[in-house]
Chains A and B, each alone.
Chain A
């Protein structure tokens, strides 16, 4: 079946360093990818998205890279701050179904 998975369950970084969170997806028909941040006990918060016809998109302190050849998605956070500590999910929209499928999540821990 369709699946979106993350390579690392936990990522620990030093405050000020850059963070890279990876995601692999399996549905080549997916046309839209989104990164969400979820803090404990809260709903997901939209971070950045990218369409399948793009390979890079930048936001404020965040960059999403899409490699369709190997079905890989990454989120780069520059100058990671303690407030960035959370669980990060990638999600893909199935091109056929339009549904949003979430990956398993990576916990980002920022050490002061």
Chain B
């Protein structure tokens, strides 16, 4: 099956610093990638849709200047949490949709990144 890799899996950063999370599709091309946020014992909330070569589309209430998304290639999207604060601590998950497929089953999830801001 298709593999989506996120890096890092865990990161601890100081308040005020920025953290970059990478999402890579390892064996397929992904025109579209999605970024989700998940708090403990809660569901996944879609933050933004990332499209290769264009600006990301953010969900209502998500600050685009705080959560910078760059989808520079067909296999890599990055999420940068800028000026992180403790309330940004969460589990961030990406998914990648295989190019040419509109079916949801062709969207594969990464293993997630646990961000802790201290």
Contact = CB atoms under 8 A, between A and B. Distances in A.
Given A99-B46, A100-B104, A102-B43, A42 B34 contact: no
A41 interface: yes
B67 interface: no
A32 B112 contact: no
A42 B107 contact: no
A86 interface: no
A105 B93 CA distance: 16
B44 interface: yes
Contacts of A44: 44, 93, 109
B105 A104 contact: no
Contacts of B107: 100
Nearest to B34: A100
Contacts of A91: 104
Contacts of B114: 41
A112 interface: no
Nearest to A9: B41
B111 interface: yes
Contacts of A102: 36, 43-45
A49 B104 contact: yes
Interface of A: 32, 34, 36, 41-46, 49, 89, 91, 93, 98-105
29 contacts: A34-B105, A41-B112, A41-B114, A42-B111, A42-B112, A43-B4, A43-B93, A43-B95, A43-B111, A44-B44, A45-B109, A46-B105, A46-B109, A49-B104, A49-B105, A89-B43, A91-B104, A93-B104, A98-B102, A99-B46, A100-B46, A100-B107, A101-B46, A102-B36, A102-B43, A102-B44, A103-B43, A104-B42, A105-B41
